[in-house]
Structure 1
């Protein structure tokens, strides 16, 4: 399948999704939302994909919604926005819940839906020059793309409110200190480091990584006892998988496990 707004490449079990609307600073329009959904489904369904990188072309990761294209919709804008978010939200849901870990390699500005997409990733590696801002209320709009779910969980409710209401621009270092970013690297090394991390994860136990992701996400909505039961059930299930058996055997034999067999 060909894509008009992004590039998609799989090498050595790592899928790289590159937002490619450089003329619009990788702003989110309907076509990009659709393409993101399709590549997310492909990553989820392909046994070849064991880790995913999302990055941007040019000097921006994504500046958020494409306000120019939105303004052209006239009275159809509410329905258009619902269509855009339907595809975008399907993409983010799939990326969040799939087994393969997802790394956002933030190469520049991540604003609005761009910031939402970044913080929905499992790991966020940011260039030193990257900047983060919610941006929505600055133009009279409200968050989408999972930001209202993830941001309070990452930084706490009061800080999430401050960032959303004031649209304060965060440097990469400030975002790191708030827990939004997991690693800050020099601009020239952001994709290199993302590939190093992705390669490490691609050699891991994909099924266990996915199950661990889902356990951590579900823990927010469960009682202590329910979550511990979920842990026990998932642990027992993982111990019966090929990965679990290989991991335990390799540990006892003092060798590196081969989870790709």
Structure 2
């Protein structure tokens, strides 16, 4: 069975499932390509309010396929460079996507699978999920933005521990570190993200999109630059139809009806 990305629409949520059972849902360029297409469609479809990324058969993602990587050693370096560039484009697409992206993690999220989790806006993980940056165990260094995210999210010493020791970390510890939003019982990691997606779907799509853009902007902006971005975003939101509906609904003590 080949590596594939399964796509399913559940009400206002798009669920993308990594499926590569023979390799514990290892990533493959075919998955990157399918994800690009699915995310582009979701970005244009106003009826889709959130995207969930998960893995099939109780495994989130084992990262890169070591057999494929070993084979690439005998090919020109450009082959692996192109593969990683495609992965990088996927990661950048997740960050820039206008809809919230939720990782639903059962089982292991290893290597680039962990990097994929870190690129999502929300992370819901089963209590027995395991996260590992084990590149060092096979003489490699991180890709997919894993080192970028961990170095920004954690103190230097913790980032060094996770990447240089390459030991598994459980969901509870990542929740304590602020990386995992919610820890749920095993087998329930897709249930809670579906509820979260439904909740987000009831909020103003314009406001959610604007907040995500501000979070992205804050990563590299000065305070002065970000204050200006907040100003512009706030004024735009106030004069958007969602702003009028949200304020009116609050004052009239009713639920807003965002379109």
Look up the match of 1:202: 201
Measure how far apart 1:216 and its partner are: 1.5
Residue 249, structure 1, aligned to residue 248, structure 2: yes
Moved more, 185-194 or 84-93: 84-93
Which residues of 2 match residues 180-259 of structure 1 at below 5 A?
180-259=179-258
Point out 4+ residue stretches in structure 1 off by more than 3 angstroms. none
Look up the match of 2:171: 172
CA distance in 1, matches of 2:228, 2:235: 11
Measure how far apart 1:138 and its partner are: 1.6
Post-superposition CA distance 1:186-217 (Å, at most 9, x none) = 01211111111111111211221121112112
Measure how far apart 1:4 and its partner are: 5.6
| Partner SS, residue 179 of structure 2 | coil
| Partner SS, residue 64 of structure 1 | coil
Look up the match of 1:27: 26
Measure how far apart 1:66 and its partner are: 0.9
Look up the match of 2:60: 61
Measure how far apart 1:58 and its partner are: 1.4
Residue 40 of structure 1 contacts residue 91 of structure 1 at CA under 8 Å; is this kept in 2?
A: no
TM value normalised by structure 1: 0.94
Residue 102 of structure 2 contacts residue 122 of structure 2 at CA under 8 Å; is this kept in 1?
A: yes
Residue 111 of structure 1 contacts residue 133 of structure 1 at CA under 8 Å; is this kept in 2?
A: yes
Residue 87 of structure 2 contacts residue 144 of structure 2 at CA under 8 Å; is this kept in 1?
A: yes
CA distance in 2, matches of 1:128, 1:143: 25
TM value normalised by structure 2: 0.94
Which residues of 2 match residues 5-84 of structure 1 at below 5 A?
5-76=4-75, 78-84=77-83
Post-superposition CA distance 1:106-136 (Å, at most 9, x none) = 0110010000001110000000110001111
Measure how far apart 1:34 and its partner are: 1.8
Residue 109 of structure 2 contacts residue 129 of structure 2 at CA under 8 Å; is this kept in 1?
A: yes
The change in CA–CA distance for 1:4 and 1:62 in structure 2 (over 3 A counts) is closer
Measure how far apart 1:75 and its partner are: 2.8
- Point out where structure 2 has 5 or more consecutive residues left out of the alignment: none
| Partner SS, residue 219 of structure 2 | helix
Moved more, 23-32 or 116-125: 23-32
Q: CA RMSD in A?
A: 1.5
